[in-house]
Structure 1
Amino acid sequence: MREVAEELGIRPNIGRLLVTDWAPTETEGDKILFLFDGGTLTPAQLNAIHLDPTELRAYAFYDIPEIHTHTIPRLAHRLTQAQIAHHTNIPRYLEHGNPVK
C-alpha cells in the first residue's frame, strides 16, 4: 500500500497475495518480490492518480495477452502468473518469474 501511495498518490484497498517471486541478480543480490491483488480502481481513484515524476513518466492498463509487448519478459511472466493466481485463488511461487516445478 505504501508503494502505491508513494508512486501513484492513491490508497486503494490491497487484497491478497498473488505471487511470491525469488529473483536474485548479480548486481542486487537475493530479493523476493510480492504481487498483491490491487482490485479494481474506482473512477474517483483513477482521477486522483498523481505520478511521482522521479519514479514514473506514465501509466496505462493492458490486458494480460498484450503485456509481453509492453514490459520486460520477467515482469510479463510474473503478471501472467498473478492473473492465474487471481482466477484459481491459489498463490503462485516463482523463481525468476517462472513457476517452480
Structure 2
Amino acid sequence: MLLVDWALAENEGDKILFIFDGGSLDAEQERDIRFADGELTQWRYIPVHGLEQHGPPRLGRRLRAAIATHGNGGSTYAEHGTAI
C-alpha cells in the first residue's frame, strides 16, 4: 500500500481511498489487456506532468503523493489528495 487518502465529499459522505503498488507489466501482459464490459475503450501510460489533463486536480495530487511515497519505499496518509 502506497497511500491512504481521506476525502471529504459533502454530498456523498467522506471517503477513504487507497492506492497500491501493483507491480509492473511486461510487454506480453500489456498486449493481453482486454476490456470485457465495454466501460473502458483504451488504456495508456500517462507522464506525471500530464496527470491534470486526464482527471481532476485532486486525483493528480493523490497520484503524485503515491509516486513520491513509492520512491521513498514506504506508505503515507493524505487528506483530499495532499500528503500529510
Return the TM-score normalized by structure 1. Answer: 0.74
Q: Which moved more, 1:63-72 or 1:18-27?
A: 63-72
User: Among residues 61, 77, 80, which one is paired with 2:64 in the alignment?
Assistant: 80
Q: Structure 1 stretches of 5 or more lacking a match?
A: 1-16
User: Among residues 49, 67, 70, which one is paired with 1:65 in the alignment?
Assistant: 49
C-alpha separation in 1, matches of 2:42 and 2:7 = 25
Moved over 2 A (4+): none
Q: Structure 2 stretches of 5 or more lacking a match?
A: none
RMSD: 1.3
Q: How many residues align?
A: 83
Deviation at 1:53, TM superposition (A): 1.4
For CA contacts below 8 A with separation 6 or more, give which structure has more relative contact order: 2
Letter paired with 2:41: R
Residues 31-80 of structure 1 show CA distances to partners (whole Å, capped at 9, x for unaligned) of 110000022101121111112313x2322111212212222101100110
C-alpha separation in 1, matches of 2:77 and 2:51 = 20
For the residue of structure 1 that corresponds to 2:2, the secondary structure is strand
